[in-house]
Amino acid sequence: MKKKRILVFSLIFFVSGFLVLYFLRIYPFLAYHNPVQPDVLIVEGWLPEEIIDKACTEFNTAPYRYLVTTGFPYYKGFRMGSMGEMRFAIGLTEYNPDTILEITVTARGTKAYNEYPHFRVYADTVLMGETFVNSKTHDYTFTERLDFRPGSVIIEYDNDTYAAFRDRDLIVHAISVNQKKYDVNAGNVAYYKRSSGMEVPCTELNISTAHEKATVLIKKGIPDSLIMPVGSFRKRKSKTYTCGLDVNAWLVKNPGYHVKSINILTSGSHARRSCLSYRKAIQDTSIAVGVISCYDSGISDKNWWKTGKGIKEIVRETMGYLYVKFFL
């Protein structure tokens, strides 16, 4: 009996010690920062606007020759994480005024405070209808007789909120106008965030987040001749590793660029996994691989344990790193 108690207390001691050590050291470990000599800067397409601005500063203040953007299409829909609008330029050519216009929105959402996202649909400025979504991807259809040919469809998301362990987001996959489909993975779709009661242009969507962020960076002043969007359209094992494989393929196809090193610019706790994924994906071991970990005010060493979102992110990045380390 005494030995059993000693065993139990020893187990509790070691588990408690591990948890304390994990709590104190995991964020600095994951937010690995180790840039190498500047040559090519890699910018991941999923990064938020504040970090894209840091990418511009990094590229303009260090002697980089090229900037490569990476990313996937919105296979799982475009997530509207705050109140705002998605605007689809539809350019109807076969619509006769005074006939029925049918708009179908394919969408789903996440719940917070026992309520799902709510959205309104407009044809130009005419309200077609409104509804709440649920957790399942569903088609929501609205019809109206119009006496003009609309040039755009607007989806307005108007009830965003965030709880300690829940985030209410609207996720849009596509729309159909009189049975003609418009995916979110297109150059005719723009996302506007609401700020101080106004809709502020945020980003223009494209065939992948790599192409989307390339467009953003060009608008921020980086010459388009120096930006190389490398989109990924088939996932292999993990998204970050797949992006690394596609960058490797780009390097192999373009030996004339004579790349000596790459720095991956990414967000906080994702850094160590990104660096290791690219090191394993880049076949030419003479190419140095470094990483620039940008501070993320949303999930940082000072607040990650305070919300369910932060805890989930850190655990996910830990598991992701272990997967890359031992199984790729």
Q: Tell me, yes or no, whether 47 and 90 share the same domain.
A: no
Instruction: Name the residue among 148, 91, 87, 144 with its Cα closest to residue 119.
Output: 87
pLDDT at position 43, please? 98
Which residue range is the domain that position 84 belongs to? 78-204
3-state SS track over 274-305: HHHHHHHHCCCCCCEEEEEEECCCCCCCCCHH
Instruction: Name the residue among 40, 38, 42 with its Cα closest to residue 213.
Output: 42
pLDDT at 199 over 70: no
Average pLDDT of the segment spanning 36-46? 96
pLDDT at position 244, please? 97
pLDDT at position 68, please? 98
pLDDT at position 304, please? 83
pLDDT at position 299, please? 77
What's the pLDDT tens digit per position in 255-270? Answer: 999 999 999 999 989 9
Q: Kindly state whether residue 18 falls inside one of the protein's structural domains.
A: no
pLDDT at position 8, please? 62
Q: Kindly state whether residue 60 falls inside one of the protein's structural domains.
A: yes
CA atoms in the 13 A half-sphere facing the CB of 304:
23
Q: Tell me, yes or no, whether 39 and 143 share the same domain.
A: no
Specify the higher pLDDT residue, 16 or 132: 132
Q: Kindly state whether residue 15 falls inside one of the protein's structural domains.
A: no
pLDDT at position 205, please? 81
Angstrom distance (rounded) from CA 106 to CA 63? 45
pLDDT at position 18, please? 58
In the listed set 145, 177, 204, which residue is the last one of a domain according to the structure? 204
Contact 307, 164 (CB under 8 A): yes
Q: Tell me, yes or no, whether 212 and 63 share the same domain.
A: yes
Average pLDDT of the segment spanning 251-256? 95
Q: Tell me, yes or no, whether 84 and 190 share the same domain.
A: yes
Angstrom distance (rounded) from CA 128 to CA 154? 10
pLDDT at 15 over 80: no
Q: Distances in Å between the alpha carbon of 99 and those of 146, 148, 244?
A: 6, 9, 50
Number of domains in the chain: 2
* CATH number of the domain within which 238 lies: 3.40.50
In 3-state terms, the chain is what percent helix, strand and coil (to 5)?
35, 35, 35
pLDDT at position 309, please? 80
Contact 32, 301 (CB under 8 A): no
pTM for this structure?
0.78
3-state SS track over 30-70: HCCCECCCCCEEEEECCCCHHHHHHHHHHHHHCCCCEEEEE
In the listed set 179, 204, 229, which residue is the last one of a domain according to the structure? 204
Q: Kindly state whether residue 23 falls inside one of the protein's structural domains.
A: no
Q: Tell me, yes or no, whether 145 and 256 share the same domain.
A: no
Q: What is the mean pLDDT of the chain?
A: 89
Q: Tell me, yes or no, whether 323 and 226 share the same domain.
A: yes
Angstrom distance (rounded) from CA 117 to CA 105? 14
* CATH number of the domain within which 168 lies: 2.60.60.40
Structure tokens of 328? 């790729």
The count of other CB atoms within 10 Å of the CB of residue 160 is 19
Angstrom distance (rounded) from CA 94 to CA 24? 62
pLDDT at position 51, please? 92
Q: Tell me, yes or no, whether 64 and 96 share the same domain.
A: no
Kindly report the backbone phi and psi dihedral angles of residue 48, in degrees, each rounded to the nearest multiple of 5, phi listed first. Answer: -75, 170
Specify the higher pLDDT residue, 165 or 138: 138
Q: Kindly state whether residue 12 falls inside one of the protein's structural domains.
A: no
Angstrom distance (rounded) from CA 169 to CA 182? 21
